[in-house]
Structure 1
Amino acid sequence: MNKHALKALEYKKIKLQLINYTASSLGKSWIEELQPSGDLAEVKKLQEETDEGATVLRLKGSVPFGGITDVRPGLKRSKIGSILQAKELIDIADTIRGIRLMKSFILDLVESEEIELPILTGLVGEMEVPGGLERKIRSAIDDQGGVMDSASTALRHIRGQIRTFDSRVKQKLDNIVHSNGKMLSEAIITIRNDRQVIPVKQEYRASFGGIVHDQSASGATLFIEPQAIVDLNNQLSEARAKERHEIERILRVLSEGTAEYADSLLESVENLAHLDFIFSKASYAHQMKATRPKLNDQGIIQLKKARHPLISPEKVVPIDVVFDEQIHALIITGPNTGGKTVSLKTTGLITLMAQSGLQIPAEEGSEISVFKKIFADIGDEQSIEQSLSTFSSHMTNIVGILKEVDFQSLVLFDELGAGTDPQEGAALSIAILDAVYGRGATIICTTHYSELKAYAYERTGVMNASVEFDVETLSPTYRLLLGVPGRSNAFEISKKLGLPADIIEDARLQISQETNQIDKMIASLEKNRKAAEIEEENARRLKLDAEEKETALTKKLNDLERNKEQILKQAREKAERAVKEARQEAEEIIEELRNFKNRGQVKEHQLIDAKTRLSHALDSLGQQDRQVSAAPVAHQVTGFTQGDHVKILSFGQEGYIVEKINDHEYLVQAGILKMNVAEGDLKRVKEEKKVRPVVNVRTSGTTVKPELDLRGERYEDAMLKVEKYLDEALLAGFPRVSIIHGKGTGALRKGVSQLIERHPRVKSSRLGSQGEGGSGVTVVDFK
């Protein structure tokens, strides 16, 4: 990628912002080497990994990077036989722990959330965790990098001796200090040359004997190791030398163990660096509310509400930028400080971000083209060192661009042709634009030249744009207006500031008629655009109102349907209770009459009374029967056919028509039960729920297969299919079936196993053998 363009667009500042989101120096090294890619496939992969990182952060909020450091120098030294320091070894143990936690974190997330993270799982899948090495290091070295007594039996014994000798030396010196206080400069014990000594006055040197290790600057005090402790100090020094040798031996053994895993750990650390880089990109995207862009390599750019990433969110003004199959050049005109350069830089910098795998500060649905080369000629290019003027420096840069530009290039010209005579500058600008556009490049150009406003109207594939200026407030709005060239607004601004009208009118006469006509045309375009924006906003509001009303009406309709169902259900239940009571009363009356007859004690008034009660019960029964039949009329559909999917209203159970018994009754299969049901008690289920008739499953053998393939199914859908399939397989008479769930994360296999265990008709189940699909298949035997 062109270094001049990266500098002009301030790409380095994006990298500096991104570094703030890294968890370790590992990720920082990746960001320091980050460069935009011109390969579409590579950019898609970079964007995919950022999106996976964003998914993890959305679900979990953070990632476990604690304790991870760059241990690559120590690992490389261990490979060539160097002895690592204790601090280096404990850093390696901490990093191994970080590898273990990161691997578990990603794999557990994939399984628990049932999501696909192929790039992240691929990275952690390659990471080996030498747990044995981690345990050995931690059993020998503490968190502060000190070798512990438990590192070896020999070290524990040596340190015991050191403590004993040290205690004896201190005890003897304490006695000497307390009994000879007047001979000492101070009643203290101090250290010289790693030996414990006391400060003795010069005149008492002979009273102590031993070894003089140092003296004060004045010579009045000698730091003496008394003869009485020389032997003990020698023993202490020897013990400390043994301690150093034993620690060196322990570190050598641990370093040799580290060397065995150095290659795999180096690869794992590199993957950790990649992961740190991915999650820093995801965190950066989250912070600036960025989105993943669509990608192409056809020069198509569709930026919606794009924001410059280096401008404060409170100040930045979003812009829309459009390059489609027809438009490949954008000419932006307008006043100074109006936002032309910001619009140009926003497009260029966002393109660089997207080609670096970063999400972009724009709305969802934005699209970016991947360019092989990006060129920029921006700002004051004056070079004092090379004695070049602004114009000369611009031309030098443009000459370099013309040597390399092609159809896979994005070229950004800021104030093209500036710094020289306006007439010549405009002519040069047109010629340069023609040359670059003729090579198929995509162009964004800002300019003051009015001649370039007509450039877009005279050439296909070129669009005018401008930055909006509010004449009322005499300030730019920084909005980019596509399809409308900019005006200088000099006359309007002068009028607002109080310049006499006659002077303004005289100035207008100095301008050619063509220029005035163009100015009027632009003003008309701006007026029409504003009117169109108002109409668009009104249409948007009307659409929102219509959608809200539609939602409200739909809700009311659904409520009515639910109430209707509830009312009908209550009516049916009431009628059924009344029928049941009437039938029961009729049966009681008939039984009473039979008892009277058997006893031969039937009296006339009893018979009349019983007949009257029976008549009333039968009338009530007939009335309620009619109510029961009438209640579900809204749902009844006559003429059921074999295989129709129906609901038995009195039970609330669904089933299938097996056959028609008579004009008013059908044989219905509901689960494993068959029953005769009156036509009035049946309701047809919607056609989309209709399946092949259960009655044909057993005989035709065409609707149910001896195996069910769940691969690619969502978990919930798969469980519903398994439950339904088991019932159908039972009805089909299969003694054994196979359920193919694949290996994957194991979630489907676990769900299938749990469902089968609860099924009352399953005799046993097992995973498939080698020839049956192995652990990707569950074989089920029925009772």
Structure 2
Amino acid sequence: MNKKVLATLEFDKIKQQLEQHASSSLGIEKIDALFPSADFSEVVHWQEETDEAATVLRVAGHAPLDGLHNIRPHVKRAKIGGLLNGEELIQIAGTIYSGRMMKKFIAELVENGEKLPILSEQTEQIPVLTELEHDIKRAVDENGEILDSASSTLREVRSQIRIHEGRIRERLESMIRSKNAQKMLSDAIVTIRNDRYVIPVKQEYRHHYGGIVHDQSSSGQTLFIEPESIVQLNNQLKQLKLKEQEEIEKILRELSAKVQENADELLVIVQVMGDLDFIFAKAKLAKSMKASKPLMNREGYIRIHQARHPLLPIEEAVPNDIELGKDYTAIVITGPNTGGKTVTLKTIGLLTLMAQSGLQIPAQEGSEMAVFHSVFADIGDEQSIEQSLSTFSSHMVNIVDILKEVTGESLVLFDELGAGTDPQEGAALAISILDEVLEVGARVVATTHYPELKAYGYNRDGVINASVEFNVETLSPTYRLLIGVPGRSNAFEISERLGLNHKIIERARQYTGADTNEVENMIASLERSRKLAEKEEQEARDYLKSAEKLLKDLQNQMQEFYEKKEEMYSRAEREASKIVEKAKEEAEEIIRHLRKLRLEKNAEVKEHELIEARKRLSDAMPEIDKKTPQPKAKRSRSFMPGDEVKVLSFGQKGTILEKVDGNEWLVQVGILKMNVNESDLEYIPSQKKVDPKPLATVKGKDYHVGLELDLRGERYEDALIKVEKYIDDAVLAGYPRVSIIHGKGTGALRKGVQELLKRHRSVKSIRLGEAGEGGSGVTVVELK
């Protein structure tokens, strides 16, 4: 990969953004060494590891990288017998903890069903050094200070130190509170000099306290004296502090030895966690850019959906669809300056470098990028004063170098090819250079404002024209890339809108050649055709989206209907069972009463008659069968298009449209069309002739109404008119229930809508929406 192209395409700025997402200097080291790869399998692996990390961030929201440090210098010094300090040890403990948490974190995600083969393999390599971690944390606090609990000896020594410090302070404070202290002391404080407790005494009273002078003020008027009465206590304190330091060194030496024992494992943790920090930094950058994983290929094919320049703010960057390498291997972008041609060129180049570095690209899902052996770019004004080169000469130096190294596995980017010299010669050179690069088989994107290259795109196989759209009304570029449409200068239109006399413009048109006018008219026609095609495509997408939503809503309602239907059947059977059971109990009571009468009064009631009556009552008890068998189809005649039938599996009526194949028929049920086996159909005799056309054809597109009517922003009177028409359309469409969205606001629109619905002949009932349906901002309508 050509290193110069990284600077030209500003790849270093991408790395700077990436560094902002690293959690440690280990990750930053990896980022500094990042370089695009030309190895296809390596690039694919890099993309997959980034995608796994992006999955982790999406599922868990974070990755446990806190406490990670570059402990290599500490470990290497311990490995040769060096003594580590408390701060270095606590960094080692933090790194061990970070590795342990990452290992546990990834393992839990995998247990919960996430597929993370690369991250799992990485974390499995992390050694678990819990004992060393706990030994360090028991002895060293977060600031690197040795804790009293590090050893019993240290705890005892520090206890004695505190006792001695208390005695010394007590003695000194009694001195500074004495009668003469205010006169003899510069300030009534106890301070420390040379690790010994002293008091500030005025020069003239130095002999009053005796002892040792440790320091004096800058003016010499104040002496910091250790009074003779506490010299011995200070000496004892000094001895205790030396003992404390010896014990601390002993503890540090023991911990350093343990680090030495685990040095190799610690270096593995550093290596793996540095890699993981780098991988998650790539995923965090992708999240901040709203980027996606590109599919990679080695065929030189680029297909990017809604690509954005990664260094532009998301809200400012204009997304474009770019394709190169299949039907055509070269794109020639023509048009005026400041239109966005160079930005498009850099976008293609920079996204290629990002993809080959394992970074996700700022484009929609499903985009595809190629792995090129090399990327070349000649972009910008590279005039060289030192080499006495003009802009044209400087460009030619670059182009000469490119032509020496370009291969069939290269991507070449030319900005303003042939510029800086005589237009006729420049255009001829540009055409010749493009021919040379295309013969090699490289992928090429070139920008130019030479009109001759517009024809080049039509006359060469594998080459296509493109331009960046310019809005003549606003006199500004839209930065939208138009593949297949060459650029126009728009000079006459812009001049006219800026106020240039129409007579001058017409005269200028006469000076241009007939061929030029024909080309410009052809381009204008292409632009109009493209805009019309885009508009119609968008309308088709809107219709498709609306139809898909309608189908989904109907399927949900049908499912809900059948569930409620079965529930109502079951409820009815349970209620019937209760009634019969109650009747049976009453009958048993009557039988018991009759039996009692027979015994008491010799009534003429036979036993076998009682038994027979009980049996009849038992037979009246219904048997509840949760699974109701589907009735078999009854056919009395052969089916024909236009027949009205019942689809037995759905229990719905429909109309046969045509025979599909064998025993299958295309049946229209409501607005749905489905293939149904004739064994699942039952003919329904009808006196009316049924039109076999689909309902959509009979009723027209106006009956494709949604299940919701949104009235927000409508005037009160207009809203009520829309509600009345919508309810009629919903009834014709056969909807059992619809929703009216009126919003909350002042409540006036909701009140008016609900009053209209209460009076409407087709409305069965109304209610406000529940929490998941929009609350009081929605009215749900049950239709008759």
Q: Distance in 2 between matches of 1:559 and 1:204?
A: 101
Residue equivalent to 1:20: 20
Residue equivalent to 1:520: 521
Residue equivalent to 1:773: none
Q: CA deviation at 1:587?
A: 12
Q: Distance in 2 between matches of 1:48 and 1:539?
A: 36
SS at match of 1:480: strand
Amino acid at match of 1:35: F
Residue equivalent to 2:631: 635
1:38-77 mapped onto 2 (5 Å cutoff) = 38-77=38-77
Q: Distance in 2 between matches of 1:390 and 1:596?
A: 126
- The more displaced of 549-558 and 303-312 is 549-558
Amino acid at match of 2:280: F
SS at match of 2:413: strand
User: What do the CA deviations read for 1:313-355 (whole angstroms, capped 9, x no partner)?
Assistant: 2221110101242311111111211111111111111111111
Amino acid at match of 1:635: P
SS at match of 1:635: coil
CA RMSD for the aligned pairs? 3.7
Unaligned runs of 5+ in 1: 639-685, 688-783
1:539-618 mapped onto 2 (5 Å cutoff) = 539-555=540-556, 557-558=558-559, 561-562=562-563
SS at match of 2:296: strand
Q: CA deviation at 1:566?
A: 5.8
- The more displaced of 578-587 and 398-407 is 578-587
Residue equivalent to 1:451: 452
User: What do the CA deviations read for 1:180-218 (whole angstroms, capped 9, x no partner)?
Assistant: 634544444433333333444445445544433334445
SS at match of 1:92: helix
SS at match of 2:481: strand
SS at match of 2:399: helix
Residue equivalent to 1:385: 386
1:98-137 mapped onto 2 (5 Å cutoff) = 98-111=98-111, 113-137=112-136
Cα distance change on mapping 1:491 and 1:584 into 2, 3 Å: same
Residue equivalent to 1:347: 348
Q: Distance in 1 between matches of 2:565 and 2:192?
A: 98
Contact 2:383/2:391 (<8 A) preserved: yes
Residue equivalent to 1:241: 242
Q: CA deviation at 1:370?
A: 1.2
1:312-331 mapped onto 2 (5 Å cutoff) = 312-331=313-332
Q: CA deviation at 1:68?
A: 2.2
User: What do the CA deviations read for 1:693-750 (whole angstroms, capped 9, x no partner)?
Assistant: xxxxxxxxxxxxxxxxxxxxxxxxxxxxxxxxxxxxxxxxxxxxxxxxxxxxxxxxxx
Residue equivalent to 2:375: 374
Q: CA deviation at 1:544?
A: 2.5
Unaligned runs of 5+ in 2: 635-678, 681-784
SS at match of 1:84: coil
Contact 2:325/2:443 (<8 A) preserved: no
Contact 1:464/1:485 (<8 A) preserved: yes
Residue equivalent to 2:512: 511
- The more displaced of 386-395 and 508-517 is 508-517
Structure 1 position 3 matched with structure 2 position 7? no
Q: Distance in 1 between matches of 2:436 and 2:145?
A: 70
Cα distance change on mapping 1:329 and 1:165 into 2, 3 Å: same
Q: CA deviation at 1:378?
A: 0.9
Residue equivalent to 1:676: none
SS at match of 2:411: strand
Q: Distance in 1 between matches of 2:416 and 2:135?
A: 66
Identity of aligned residues (%): 55
Contact 1:575/1:628 (<8 A) preserved: no
Q: Distance in 2 between matches of 1:419 and 1:441?
A: 25
Q: Distance in 2 between matches of 1:582 and 1:169?
A: 101
Cα distance change on mapping 1:242 and 1:546 into 2, 3 Å: closer
Contact 1:579/1:621 (<8 A) preserved: no
Cα distance change on mapping 1:571 and 1:379 into 2, 3 Å: same
Structure 1 position 161 matched with structure 2 position 157? no
Cα distance change on mapping 1:432 and 1:234 into 2, 3 Å: same
SS at match of 2:414: strand
Q: Distance in 2 between matches of 1:528 and 1:151?
A: 82
Contact 2:132/2:258 (<8 A) preserved: yes
Cα distance change on mapping 1:202 and 1:496 into 2, 3 Å: closer
SS at match of 1:313: coil
Amino acid at match of 2:453: L
- The more displaced of 403-412 and 551-560 is 551-560
SS at match of 1:362: coil
Contact 1:50/1:359 (<8 A) preserved: yes
1:407-426 mapped onto 2 (5 Å cutoff) = 407-426=408-427
Q: Distance in 1 between matches of 2:114 and 2:70?
A: 30
Q: CA deviation at 1:443?
A: 0.7
Contact 1:583/1:617 (<8 A) preserved: no
User: What do the CA deviations read for 1:546-580 (whole angstroms, capped 9, x no partner)?
Assistant: 33343344445545655665676678778989999
Residue equivalent to 1:84: 84
Q: CA deviation at 1:80?
A: 1.6
SS at match of 2:394: helix
1:488-507 mapped onto 2 (5 Å cutoff) = 488-507=489-508
Residue equivalent to 1:195: 196
Q: Distance in 1 between matches of 2:494 and 2:13?
A: 37
1:261-272 mapped onto 2 (5 Å cutoff) = 261-272=262-273
Amino acid at match of 1:156: R
Residue equivalent to 1:253: 254
Contact 2:86/2:145 (<8 A) preserved: yes
Contact 2:466/2:482 (<8 A) preserved: yes
Cα distance change on mapping 1:2 and 1:212 into 2, 3 Å: same
Residue equivalent to 2:740: none
Q: Distance in 2 between matches of 1:267 and 1:280?
A: 20
Structure 1 position 468 matched with structure 2 position 464? no
Q: CA deviation at 1:102?
A: 1.7
Q: Distance in 2 between matches of 1:201 and 1:577?
A: 108
Contact 1:568/1:632 (<8 A) preserved: no
Residue equivalent to 1:745: none
User: What do the CA deviations read for 1:346-401 (whole angstroms, capped 9, x no partner)?
Assistant: 11111111111111111111111111211111111112233221111111111111
User: What do the CA deviations read for 1:245-293 (whole angstroms, capped 9, x no partner)?
Assistant: 2211211111111111122112112211221222222122122221111
Q: TM-score, normalised on structure 2? A: 0.73
Residue equivalent to 1:673: none
Cα distance change on mapping 1:186 and 1:58 into 2, 3 Å: closer
SS at match of 2:81: coil
Q: Distance in 2 between matches of 1:481 and 1:164?
A: 84
Q: Distance in 2 between matches of 1:7 and 1:632?
A: 74
SS at match of 1:62: coil
User: What do the CA deviations read for 1:594-635 (whole angstroms, capped 9, x no partner)?
Assistant: 999999x997xx89xx89x98x979x979x99x999x96743
Q: Distance in 2 between matches of 1:596 and 1:216?
A: 127
